[in-house]
Structure 1
Amino acid sequence: MKIKSNKKIVFKALFLPALIFANQNYSNEHFSKAIDSYNNRAFQDSYLAFKEYLKNNKLDSNFTFILARSAYEIGKFEEAETLYKELLKQTPDNSRVKLELAQTYFQQKRYKEAEALYQDVLKDSTLPLNVRKNIELTLDSLDKKSQRNLLKTTLSIGYGYDSNTDNNSNDDVVNWGNIPLSIPDKKSDHVAEYILALNHTFKIKENLTMDNKFVGYMQKFNNDHNNDLSLAVFGTGLSYYTTKSKSSLAFDYNYVWLDNSTYLFNYILTPSFDYQIDKNLIYKTKIKLIKKDFKQTDYEFRDSMYYELSNSFVLLTEKFGMNSLSFVFGTDNKDKGKAWNVDYNFASLRYENMYPITQSTILTSGIELYKDRYKVNEEVLYNNKKRDDKLIFDLGVLQSLNKNLSLGATIRYINNDSNQNIYEYDKYVVRTNLYYSF
């Protein structure tokens, strides 16, 4: 994956060159196109136009800098490096060029050379405060890259309210043939949750890591203890990195307790691939294979194999934050025989947005359309195949209190429309969480 930094902020704060459009070279067709393309951030066009211009002309230092930036932006890092070095020969104390060259080293994973230049630039007493801060953040990330073992721990405690803890139907009565059956009223309750997440990364090589994790989760209701849930996740995997991609293979084991009794084991295999199409657009694809092993006799009929394929695009924008669009589809198949409420196909379309309101406040939102189609006829009550159409809305805010501590609040609304009215329901869940990471 292409490594991101605060380069854009640095450039805007310190380096915007004063282009003199009345320059005599501007009458040249290639030169004119190069400058116009650069100003419109069409760096590929700018680079090619400058190359045509250089066949019969020479560039001064200002425009050599622009050619170097164009080469950098389209991934021609070696050429950008050569151009920046030429500029430094002319002006050895130019912090602007030093930072660009440092960033070029950074993209080539030549971290020691990048670090030396960053440290050199910090000696410049005229450096703006925000630029200095961004360089220090980059140096901090370089320091982490030099470590072979990285451990991150997150603790969270939350409290909330569930308006329909059992997902009970909106209807009071359903018909079993000609016999009416009463549906229990919706039950609401307050709920507390506790989370411990440990993530460990061991760097085998510069582009190969082993990723290990442990997650402990507990959900406790005030009164409805039948829905108390505990979960332990153990995972390990390998990740391989290139300049623009990340390939991973992970294995997870989940142990689930329901109402303090062993409920379910999940064995999960997840190959995934991320690719950076350009600096603002990332494509992600993932396959998930789950072997579900229910441990309680009443639920053993639910043992199944679950298959899921997801494809996502993540778009980073200045005005609208980070936008994710995901399409997921798959199937859940009972291991032995068939059961009307186990075997099904499903598909989901989800949009998510993370928008920075301020430097320390993030607004999150999402909407999901989910459909499942069961494969086996339910003979007794409805004499049809179950179908669900679910609509999910999410809205939340995350406030960073300091480097390690954050406060979050979320609300989720779910409306499940089913052709079997016992499964039709709606609900909302509100939660507030405190997160501590170190």
Structure 2
Amino acid sequence: MNIKLLNKLSSSFILGAVSLSSILANENYSNEHFQKAIESYQNRLFQDSYILLQQYTKENKLSSDTTFILARSAYEIGKFSEALNLYKSMLKENPNNNRVKLELAQTYFQLKQYDEAKALYEEVLKEPGLPQNVRKNIEFTLNSLDKKSQKNFIKTTLGFGYGFDSNVDNNSSDNLVYWGNIPLSIEDKKSDHVAEYILALNHTYKLKDDLTVDNRFVGYIQKYNNEYDNDLSLTVFGTGLSYYTQKSKLSLAFDYNYVWLDNSTYLNNYILTPSFDYQIDANLMYKTKLKLIKKDFKQTQYEFRDSTYYELQNSLAFLTQDFGINTFSFTFGTDNKDKGSHYNVDYDFVSLRYENMYPLTKSTILTNGIELYKDIYKENEEFLYGNKRKNDKVIYDLGVIQSINKNLSLGATFRYINNDSNQNIYEYDKYVVKSNIYYSF
């Protein structure tokens, strides 16, 4: 439920009905506590207005309007049960007061008493003279409440993309590598067009209001026009638990990936991902995620690559009025061969990434990002270089997505990668451009 929407609903119909001038005319304005309480409420200092009005009520009886201010102050500082009792007493005195009904419905929502909230919203909606903007807000709120009472949520996305890869095998720009004094040729770069097909199924089952089971299936196919050896197919089966509080989300997910390369079984991945998201304030969110992957290669010539991968990522995302959503991520980890060690398997890595999402229009989003990535392999490569491989990679992404309607969207992406390595066979640069169409239901 969008809390901002609820507040907007209240301010458009409720707060406008509270006339501070009428309060001041009917209360003992000479009382110091009362004066300060009203001033605090006007300045949205709800903690102060609540405390002062509580002191004032020890010797004075509140009018209905002042009771409303006390109830609203209690609500704003999270004392929902107290606000509920105050609104109920007001409604008992005046059963036709729609402003109190809406505030009471909003308070019921905060206490997760959704049936009571829904009944009050529907009651107010029957009023013939209800302002149109308030009517629309209530209808939207009721729709959200209906969804909140659902147990199952299913979303399906179909996608198709077509693009161009300038360096399919990530081959070096150099022509030769030397084995001692003997020159060995490096395979030339190959470019090709590539198509991709996507099917994603997401299912969420709500065990409780704050606890869900999240299941997913992803099918992905990548096919090149000419470089068939790089054709790839992937299936993902995943499940997990998510626990929600007012400001945070704690999740534990397990995924099983099955990968085919060139129509042959290539790799199985077993992935465990605990994560934690925390909403620091309305514009700032912190995320941390630990990923553990057990890699199980299925082809005999690749079995030496079996390994266990660990990754820890910390992200800070903040929303700005002028520059959209900005996310900074710091990631580090390691990949370790299961048995023994190998110069081409064991490595440590670190990454720093910045991403931006900027709304060009209400239906068009521009995305861009840059990542600085570094890895250091743990074992010497003795045959050609006699040292440990080190890679410094720069990745730049640019994209745009256009929403056509609630189901259909179009996208285009550009990615450039430049990898600088102390072993020239691994030095390369490339770019990939793609256009995509997505249909969700």
TM-score by structure 1 length?
Answer: 0.86
Query: Residue type of the partner of 2:84?
Result: E
Cross-structure match for 2:269: 266
Partner of 2:40: 34
Seen in structure 2, the aligned counterparts of structure 1 residues 429 and 211 have a Cα distance that, compared at 3 Å, is same
In 2, the alpha carbon distance for the partners of 1:304 and 1:197 equals 28
- Deviation digits for residues 407-438 of structure 1 (CA, Å, limit 9, x no counterpart): 22222222222222222222222222211111
SS at match of 1:315: strand
Q: Does 1:300 align with 2:279?
A: no
Gap change, CA 1:87 and 1:303, over 3 Å in 2: same
Structure 1: 5+ residue runs without aligned partners?
39-44
Q: Contact 1:9 / 1:131 at 8 angstroms: preserved in 2?
A: no
Say if 1:243 and 1:336 are closer, same or farther in 2 by CA, change over 3 A.
same
Counterpart contact for 1:33–1:46, Cα < 8 Å:
no
Q: Which of the pair has more CA radius of gyration?
A: 2
16-25 vs 403-412, which deviates more?
16-25
Other-structure match for 1:350: 353
Counterpart amino acid of 1:34?
A: S
Q: Deviations over 1:147-199 (max 9, x none)?
A: 22222111111112222222222334444443344333332222111111111
Q: Distance in 1 between matches of 2:438 and 2:40?
A: 49
Query: Unaligned stretches of 5+ in structure 2?
Result: none
Residue 314 of structure 2: which of 311, 317, 331 is its match?
Answer: 311
Shift of 1:26: 12
Residue matched to 2:292: 289
SS of 1:6's equivalent?
Answer: helix
The reply to whether residue 338 of structure 1 matches residue 341 of structure 2 is yes
Q: Give 2:5's aligned residue.
A: 6
Where does residue 406 of structure 1 map in the other structure?
A: 409
Aligned residue in 1 for 2:164:
161
Give the superposition deviation at 1:257.
0.6
Instruction: Kindly provide the CA deviation profile for residues 76-130 of structure 1, in whole angstroms up to 9, marking residues without a partner as x.
Output: 3333434444554566555444444333322322211222223233334555555
Structure 2: which amino acid aligns with 1:345?
D
1:243 aligns with 2:246: yes
Aligned residues: 431
Instruction: Say which of 246, 257, 260 aligns to 1:257.
Output: 260
Aligned with 1:376: secondary structure? strand
1:317 is displaced (CA, Å) by 4.4
Paired residue for 2:192, among 189, 193, 198? 189
Name the residue aligned to 1:47. 47
Displacement, 1:70? Answer: 4.9
Q: Once structures 1 and 2 are overlaid, which stretch shifts more, 3-12 or 270-279?
A: 3-12
Q: Provide closer, same or farther for how the CA distance between residues 418 and 93 of structure 1 changes in structure 2, counting only shifts above 3 A.
A: farther
Mark the CA change 1:49 to 1:132 in structure 2 (over 3 Å): closer, same or farther: closer
1:185–1:61: structure 2 CA closer, same or farther, 3 Å change rule? Answer: farther
SS class of match (1:340): coil
Against the structure 1 CA distance between its residues 194 and 112, is the aligned structure 2 distance closer, same or farther, given a 3 Å change threshold?
Answer: same
Deviation at 1:391, TM superposition (A): 2.1
Stretch deviating more after TM superposition (48-57 or 116-125): 48-57
Tell me the equivalent position of 1:106: 109
- Whether contact under 8 Å (2:396, 2:417) holds in the other structure is yes
In structure 2, distance between residues paired with 1:247 and 1:106? 22
* 1:49–1:11 Cα change, 3 Å: closer
Shift of 1:50: 4.4
3-state DSSP class of the match of 1:255? strand
Q: Is the 8 A contact 2:46 2:77 kept in 1?
A: no
| CA positional deviation for 1:64 | 5.7
Q: 8 Å contact 1:169–1:186 — kept in the other structure?
A: yes
Name the CA distance, whole Å, in 1 between partners of 2:270 and 2:328.
27
| 1:385 correspondence with 2:384 | no
For 1:319 and 1:26, the matched residues in 2 are separated by: 45
* Structure 1 pair 68–401 and aligned structure 2 pair: CA distance change class (3 A): farther
Calculate the TM-score normalised by the size of structure 2: 0.85
SS in 2 for 1:377: strand
Contact 2:53–2:70 (8 Å) recurs in 1: no
Helix, strand or coil for the counterpart of 1:210?
strand
Per-residue deviation, 1:371: 1.9
Q: Distance in 1 between matches of 2:232 and 2:277?
A: 32
Q: In the alignment, does 2:226 pair up with 1:223?
A: yes
> After alignment, is 138-147 or 158-167 more displaced?
138-147
**Cα distance, 1:222 vs. partner?**
1.4
The DSSP-based 3-state class of the residue aligned with 1:342 is coil
* Closer, same or farther: CA 73–378 of 1 in aligned 2, 3 Å: farther
